Structure 1
């Protein structure tokens, strides 16, 4: 017997999703006697002339029965001789797309309904893209209502060509296409006598035979859900193992703090175990005291990223549009923290898949955007580590879910701008624009196309938010590097130990003017920096740097530009 399969039914409104699943339950004798009796009675007062309305087994809300459409997600558990299933029957109406996305987030396979009379519609394409976005890799296209299309092989092949084009466009790997009639039962649980030209399996047989390969990721990791401290002698970290295995005595890294410790004991439930693997809920005790709290990640992966900037593909679900600079609460793994959508890269055309420029994103649109978090956290690409790559955005006032999405790229320290020469390297944002969103009171930074500056490079000295002289020096105290800019060109990059005051303006790596007017000022500044502590860091920068000299504030549409 194959393992449990979690699948979703989706497609455009009135494609027959609820009827299809209802027919499977009815034909497979998976109903209690009272359920079957109630179905027969309810069908007599329905809209099918007394014939059995299988959709009533799934559509339980009064509004659903009145309108003849699915509104909420209906979950059903059933078992055949060959497999156990959990199915999420989701709404097809565009207004309830967010409900469909909720169902897709749990599924391993998607059954996409296509009306044989209407073919592939816009909402069909939207649901397919959402399923692909959510990481579903197995698809069964059920071309429904073949009875209304007179069981035409030509019509089925025509729709199959449209599906094949979608398969190539979205790089879908596992696709099966089945002609069915959900009301008449053709190819649902038994082979159809009306379509002898179709030689494939029935829908139920395909569901029973589909093999879902389990992806173990690249090693062990577990987001910490709770710190368990029943008494002063025990401190354990609870969560679900999302990938790999963990064993007693194994050395782990705790992110984002990057501390290391060994596993002292593992509890699965209330029993000690030498090992735990993906899917198990465990309590891990470490051999020494380390900084671990909810949202931390225990891992043996050396390359697991920690960052505060991610590029994500999202499905926007809020009535109010998404705009650049809007801030939200972001939920990722077991951590929730403030975040801001810094930039909208593009929105996706549902019909063609084309990437279109956009200043804002409307309800039910899919978009790619850059999101900045309030602090660095463990985060990874969705395709590598699912739990650390799926996220939701939550409205900070209403606490409604505004968007769901996946991480496509994690921007690390190597993506930051810097100056480089012969092993010397200094970071800095001196040529980047700083934006202050007036509506949300949030400061953000717009990256430049060039992130690496070397000797001989021409550099910009003016922009919306900065205006520098043609000749100046940049000193990075943190990196102990000086950059000499002459006539808008990097003349040299040298060690700060070899730098002497030249009489030219001196700036820091952010573009702030430094109050250095003589060699004595330079020596005093360097001496104070060497004695810098966390307590007097702010006072040091307030004393030696000045924002307004070369940086400025101007109004430009929705932003104040700093």
Structure 2
């Protein structure tokens, strides 16, 4: 250690948000359990409990899937039906992992888990290869703008001529991802055995045909940035703070989470949808004042002017603030049993703002299996992806999803029950997909 860095704490590992997806019984829970086990992210008593439960089931080795399948219904059925968030770390990086379900009726959970992911691990069973759910999940990841994919060909130890099987599955998957707009460097294929740990944390001698990284090595070294043009400040106002104590009678702060960009004291901002301009006078946090705050930080902003700002408004940088609008084209992943039809009157939640919305028209339907688009469907059914036009009761200041993930996404909500019906992306998320060779159906 040199004199210049003596006494300094080591730099904290950076963070990568990942998710898993795949069909039922492809081994997602076992793979996640293996990641937790191999990175020593589980306690000894948890391992003991899993070992005991595995012996009770008549198994010779610990069933690592029990480390993650915590819900009773999941354990009884042996499947994952909810999104479970897991945390693990290596010396080089920390990870937040969303373990998502495989059944087609739970695609809504997969959309939720992958919506913030920087990388998604798509599992396929080496014995069955790329199936309909694999194509569906890959299409959803492309629409959500997930920048990197890993194809984990699991149970590679259970097939004859594993090298040929791995090559065929990889080639078929590459055709799918290329059609969805992924470049070769954004996709990594790895043959693994989650049960035995082959190529998860340790390079396996059982796969001499593979000379790439282990899964952990790839997760540690893959860039954790999203290839998009940075946007300026996006700060949805969650709460207006007006203390009633004598010493804070003139205090008026706007609390929320910085969704994108950065903000500094003295910056000129615009409040949307009103268009009123002001400057940042102060940035308060629970730990004290800041001069600058970045994406992901919860802060309270105070302005130099006494302006009218309410929950649901957007405080944005003047240079690139989104223009408020009431008519939008959007891509929606429909997540409800009841189909979406033209003329539906629902609620739209964008950031911290909730307003009424009318579905003006259904413009297209995406066939993720054939990578084709049909025009003007009569409805959008459960787990289908469609392009819609809609009109909101109040102006919304939203970016195109391809510009910014946070300010370009929204939820469609049932006004009666309050349930989430759909997840939407402002703009035509189908446009970046390479569908030129697909024939309209």
TM-score with structure 2 length normalisation?
Answer: 0.89
How do 1:333-352 residues align onto structure 2 when only pairs under 5 Å count? 333-352=351-370
In structure 2, distance between residues paired with 1:206 and 1:110: 12
Establish whether residue 184 from structure 1 lines up as the match of residue 175 from structure 2: no
**1:51 Cα deviation after fit:** 2.7
The answer (yes or no) to whether the contact 1:2–1:208 under 8 Å persists in 2 is no
Number of the residue aligned with 2:214? 202
The answer (yes or no) to whether the contact 1:294–1:335 under 8 Å persists in 2 is yes
Q: Whose radius of gyration is greater, 1 or 2?
A: 1
**1:361 Cα deviation after fit:** 1.1
**1:245 Cα deviation after fit:** 2.3
Establish whether residue 287 from structure 1 lines up as the match of residue 297 from structure 2: no
Establish whether residue 406 from structure 1 lines up as the match of residue 425 from structure 2: yes
In structure 1, distance between residues paired with 2:143 and 2:343: 24
In structure 1, distance between residues paired with 2:312 and 2:16: 29
How do 1:457-536 residues align onto structure 2 when only pairs under 5 Å count? none
Alignment deviations for residues 171-224 of structure 1 (CA, whole Å, 9 cap, x no partner): 124111101111121111111111111001111111111111255722222111
The answer (yes or no) to whether the contact 2:153–2:189 under 8 Å persists in 1 is yes
Task: Provide the secondary structure at the position in 2 that maps to 1:330.
Answer: strand
Cα distance change on mapping 1:125 and 1:305 into 2, 3 Å: same
In structure 1, distance between residues paired with 2:119 and 2:95: 11
Establish whether residue 310 from structure 1 lines up as the match of residue 291 from structure 2: no
| 4+ runs deviating over 6 angstroms | none
Establish whether residue 245 from structure 1 lines up as the match of residue 276 from structure 2: no
In structure 1, distance between residues paired with 2:36 and 2:301: 42
Q: Which residue of the other structure, out of 24, 30, 37, is the alignment partner of 1:19?
A: 30
Number of the residue aligned with 1:147? 157
In structure 2, distance between residues paired with 1:265 and 1:178: 49
Gaps of at least 5 residues in structure 1 are 411-562
In structure 2, distance between residues paired with 1:53 and 1:326: 47
Establish whether residue 111 from structure 1 lines up as the match of residue 146 from structure 2: no
In structure 2, distance between residues paired with 1:352 and 1:145: 27
**1:270 Cα deviation after fit:** 4.8
Establish whether residue 7 from structure 1 lines up as the match of residue 18 from structure 2: yes
Establish whether residue 168 from structure 1 lines up as the match of residue 185 from structure 2: no
Alignment deviations for residues 136-166 of structure 1 (CA, whole Å, 9 cap, x no partner): 1111110111111136111111111111111
**1:244 Cα deviation after fit:** 2.4
The answer (yes or no) to whether the contact 2:258–2:298 under 8 Å persists in 1 is yes
Number of the residue aligned with 1:40? 51
Alignment deviations for residues 441-484 of structure 1 (CA, whole Å, 9 cap, x no partner): xxxxxxxxxxxxxxxxxxxxxxxxxxxxxxxxxxxxxxxxxxxx
The alignment covers a number of residue pairs equal to 409
Q: Which moved more, 1:212-221 or 1:255-264?
A: 212-221
Number of the residue aligned with 1:128? 138
In structure 1, distance between residues paired with 2:400 and 2:93: 32
In structure 1, distance between residues paired with 2:242 and 2:168: 63
Alignment deviations for residues 39-96 of structure 1 (CA, whole Å, 9 cap, x no partner): 11111233x7433211111111222122111111121111222221111111101122
Establish whether residue 260 from structure 1 lines up as the match of residue 277 from structure 2: yes
In structure 1, distance between residues paired with 2:360 and 2:150: 37
In structure 2, distance between residues paired with 1:307 and 1:28: 48
**1:238 Cα deviation after fit:** 1.3
Question: Cα RMSD (Å) of the superposition?
Answer: 1.7
In structure 1, distance between residues paired with 2:182 and 2:412: 27
Number of the residue aligned with 1:218? 231
In structure 1, distance between residues paired with 2:165 and 2:318: 51
In structure 2, distance between residues paired with 1:270 and 1:158: 55
Task: Provide the secondary structure at the position in 2 that maps to 1:219.
Answer: coil
TM-score with structure 1 length normalisation?
Answer: 0.70
The answer (yes or no) to whether the contact 2:13–2:91 under 8 Å persists in 1 is no
Q: Which moved more, 1:90-99 or 1:1-10?
A: 1-10
In structure 1, distance between residues paired with 2:22 and 2:319: 41
In structure 2, distance between residues paired with 1:246 and 1:61: 41
In structure 1, distance between residues paired with 2:426 and 2:258: 20
The answer (yes or no) to whether the contact 1:227–1:235 under 8 Å persists in 2 is yes
